[in-house]
Structure 1
Amino acid sequence: MARLNLLEETRFEKLPVTIYPDAKTASVVVAQRIAKLIRSKQAEGGKAVLGLATGVTPIAVYKELVRMHQQEGLSFKDVITFNLDEYFPMQASSAQSYVTFMHENLFDHIDIAPENIHIPDGTLPQDAVAAFCLNYEKQIEDLGGLDFQLLGIGRTGHIGFNEPGSAPNSGTRLVTLDNLTRSDASRDFGGKENVPTKAITMGIGTIFKAREIILMAWSAKKAPIVKKAVEGEISGDVPATYLQLSDHVEFILDEGAASELTRFYTPWLVKDCIWSAQLTKKAVIWLAGEVKKPVLKLTEEDYNNHGMAQLAVEQGPVYNINIDIFNKIQHTITGWPGGKPNADDSQRPERAEPAKKRSVIFSPHPDDDVISMGGTFIRLVDQGHEVHVAYQTSGNTAVWDDEVLRYVEFAIDFDESIGKDVTQLKGIYDNMREFIKHKRPNQVDSQEIRNVKGFIRKAEAIAGARYAGLPDSNIHFMALPFYETGKTQKNAVGEEDVQLTMELLQKVKPHQIFAAGDFADPHGTHVVAFNIILTALQRLKATEKWVEDCWLWLYRGAWHEFETSEIEMAVPLSPQEVIRKRQAIFKHQSQKDTPVFPGDDAREFWVRAEDRNRETANCYNELGLAEYAAMEAFVRYKF
Structure 2
Amino acid sequence: MESAKIFTPVEQSFLNEVPRNNKANVPYIVVDNFPNLGMLTALRFLEWVYENPKGVISLPTGKTPEYFIFWTRHILENWEKENIKELRKKHHLLFKEKPALADLHFVQIDEFYPIKSSQANSFYHYVSKYYIEGLGLKRENALLINCDEIPLADGKGFEEIFPDNKVNLELRYREAQNPLEKLQKESIFLIDNWCSDYEQKIRELGGIGFFLGGIGPDGHIAFNIKGSDPYSTTRLTSTNFETQAVAAGDLGGIEISKERLVITIGLETIIYNKNAVAIIFAAGEAKALVIKNALELSPSNLYPASVLTHLPNGRFYLTMGAAGMLNDFVDDYYRSGSWSQEKTDKAVMSLTQKLNKYAEHLTVDDLREDKYTRLIPGLDENTVQSVIDSIKSKIKKGTERLGNEVFYHTGPHHDDISLGLLPYIHYQSRNETNESHYSVLTSGFTAVTNKFLIKILHNVLSFIEKGEIEMLEYPDFFEAGYKNKKDKDVYHYLINIASGNADERSRAVSHRMVRNIVELWNLKSKLSLKEKINEIITAINSSYDGQNPEPKIQTLKGMIREYEEELVWAHFGVKTKNVQHLRLGFYTGAIFTEKPNRERDVIPILQQLRTISPTVISLAFDPEGSGPDTHYKVLQAIAEAVREWGKEKDLSDLKIWGYRNVWYQFNAADVTHIFPVSLNAMSTMDESFTNSYMSQVDASFPSYRYNGKFSHLSIQTWVEQLKAVQLILGKPYFYDNESPRLRATHGLLFFKEMNVEEFLQSARELEKSTEGTF
Normalising by structure 1, report the TM-score: 0.88
1:555-566 map, 5 Å? 555-566=659-670
Match of 1:540 in 2: 645
Larger RCO (alpha carbons 8 Å, 6+ apart)? 2
Q: Is the 1:23–1:254 Cα contact (8 Å) retained in structure 2?
A: yes
Aligned pair count reads 614
Q: Say whether residues 1:168 and 2:273 are aligned partners.
A: no
Distance across 2 between alignment mates of 1:619 and 1:236? 31
Match of 2:307 in 1: 242
Deviations 1:138-195 (A, max 9, x none): 3333333333222322222222222233222222222222221121011111112333
Report how far residue 279 of structure 1 moved.
1.2
Match of 2:490 in 1: none
Q: Is the 1:86–1:120 Cα contact (8 Å) retained in structure 2?
A: yes
Once structures 1 and 2 are overlaid, which stretch shifts more, 409-418 or 547-556? 409-418
Q: Is the 1:162–1:175 Cα contact (8 Å) retained in structure 2?
A: no
Distance across 2 between alignment mates of 1:532 and 1:249? 36
Report how far residue 464 of structure 1 moved.
1.8
Aligned-partner SS, 1:633: strand
Distance across 2 between alignment mates of 1:168 and 1:465? 51
1:246-395 map, 5 Å? 246-265=311-330, 267=332, 274-308=338-372, 310-311=374-375, 314-317=377-380, 319-334=381-396, 339-340=400-401, 355-384=403-432, 385-395=434-444
Which of 139, 157, 171 matches 2:201? 139
1:9-28 map, 5 Å? 10=21, 13-28=24-39
Distance across 1 between alignment mates of 2:346 and 2:669? 5
Q: Alpha carbons of 1:381 and 1:77: their partners in 2 closer, same or farther (altered >3 Å)?
A: closer
Q: Is the 2:409–2:617 Cα contact (8 Å) retained in structure 1?
A: yes
Distance across 2 between alignment mates of 1:59 and 1:364? 19
Report how far residue 332 of structure 1 moved.
0.5
Q: Alpha carbons of 1:464 and 1:23: their partners in 2 closer, same or farther (altered >3 Å)?
A: closer
Match of 2:567 in 1: 463
Q: Alpha carbons of 1:128 and 1:71: their partners in 2 closer, same or farther (altered >3 Å)?
A: farther
Deviations 1:26-48 (A, max 9, x none): 43333333333333345xxxx22
Q: Alpha carbons of 1:568 and 1:276: their partners in 2 closer, same or farther (altered >3 Å)?
A: same
Q: Is the 1:415–1:422 Cα contact (8 Å) retained in structure 2?
A: no
Q: Is the 1:149–1:213 Cα contact (8 Å) retained in structure 2?
A: yes
Aligned-partner SS, 2:675: strand
Aligned-partner SS, 2:657: strand
Which of 39, 43, 59 matches 1:32? 43
Distance across 1 between alignment mates of 2:398 and 2:285? 31
Q: Say whether residues 1:530 and 2:635 are aligned partners.
A: yes
Report how far residue 523 of structure 1 moved.
4.8
Match of 1:549 in 2: 653
Match of 1:78 in 2: 103
Distance across 1 between alignment mates of 2:631 and 2:136? 37
Q: Is the 1:69–1:75 Cα contact (8 Å) retained in structure 2?
A: no
Match of 1:346 in 2: none
Q: Which runs of 5+ in 2 are unaligned?
A: 5-14, 80-97, 153-187, 474-524, 735-744, 760-774
Which of 271, 284, 288 matches 1:223? 288
1:469-484 map, 5 Å? 469-483=573-587
Aligned-partner SS, 1:510: coil
Aligned-partner SS, 2:703: coil
Match of 1:56 in 2: 63
Which of 498, 504, 529 matches 1:425? 529
Q: Is the 1:63–1:105 Cα contact (8 Å) retained in structure 2?
A: no
Which of 390, 398, 402 matches 2:454? 402
Q: Alpha carbons of 1:310 and 1:614: their partners in 2 closer, same or farther (altered >3 Å)?
A: closer
Normalising by structure 2, report the TM-score: 0.74
Q: Which runs of 5+ in 1 are unaligned?
A: 341-351
Report how far residue 552 of structure 1 moved.
0.2
Distance across 2 between alignment mates of 1:31 and 1:487? 22
Report how far residue 204 of structure 1 moved.
1.6
Match of 2:718 in 1: 613
Q: Alpha carbons of 1:335 and 1:573: their partners in 2 closer, same or farther (altered >3 Å)?
A: farther
Amino acid at match of 2:746: A
Q: Is the 1:457–1:588 Cα contact (8 Å) retained in structure 2?
A: no
Aligned-partner SS, 1:135: helix
Q: Is the 2:213–2:279 Cα contact (8 Å) retained in structure 1?
A: yes
Q: Is the 1:392–1:478 Cα contact (8 Å) retained in structure 2?
A: yes
Q: Alpha carbons of 1:618 and 1:20: their partners in 2 closer, same or farther (altered >3 Å)?
A: closer
Distance across 1 between alignment mates of 2:295 and 2:65? 20
1:190-209 map, 5 Å? 190-195=252-257, 197-209=260-272
Distance across 2 between alignment mates of 1:10 and 1:596? 42
Aligned-partner SS, 1:242: helix
Amino acid at match of 1:524: D
Match of 1:117 in 2: 142
Q: Alpha carbons of 1:378 and 1:95: their partners in 2 closer, same or farther (altered >3 Å)?
A: same
Deviations 1:465-517 (A, max 9, x none): 1222324443322222223x355653332322211111111112111111122
Aligned-partner SS, 1:548: coil
Report how far residue 382 of structure 1 moved.
0.4
Q: Is the 1:375–1:581 Cα contact (8 Å) retained in structure 2?
A: yes
Q: Alpha carbons of 1:202 and 1:283: their partners in 2 closer, same or farther (altered >3 Å)?
A: same
Amino acid at match of 1:28: M
Deviations 1:539-560 (A, max 9, x none): 1112212x22110011123333
Deviations 1:38-78 (A, max 9, x none): 33345xxxx22223332223343333333454444432232
Amino acid at match of 2:429: V
Q: Is the 1:187–1:488 Cα contact (8 Å) retained in structure 2?
A: no
Distance across 1 between alignment mates of 2:628 and 2:468? 42
Q: Alpha carbons of 1:448 and 1:9: their partners in 2 closer, same or farther (altered >3 Å)?
A: closer
Which of 653, 666, 682 matches 1:578? 682
Q: Is the 2:219–2:304 Cα contact (8 Å) retained in structure 1?
A: yes
Amino acid at match of 2:647: A
Q: Is the 2:443–2:555 Cα contact (8 Å) retained in structure 1?
A: no
TM-align CA RMSD: 2.9
Q: Is the 1:374–1:584 Cα contact (8 Å) retained in structure 2?
A: no
Distance across 2 between alignment mates of 1:250 and 1:477? 43
Amino acid at match of 2:57: L
Amino acid at match of 1:374: L
Distance across 1 between alignment mates of 2:103 and 2:43? 17
Once structures 1 and 2 are overlaid, which stretch shifts more, 298-307 or 130-139? 130-139
Report how far residue 299 of structure 1 moved.
0.9
Amino acid at match of 1:159: I
Q: Say whether residues 1:493 and 2:596 are aligned partners.
A: yes
Distance across 2 between alignment mates of 1:457 and 1:414? 26
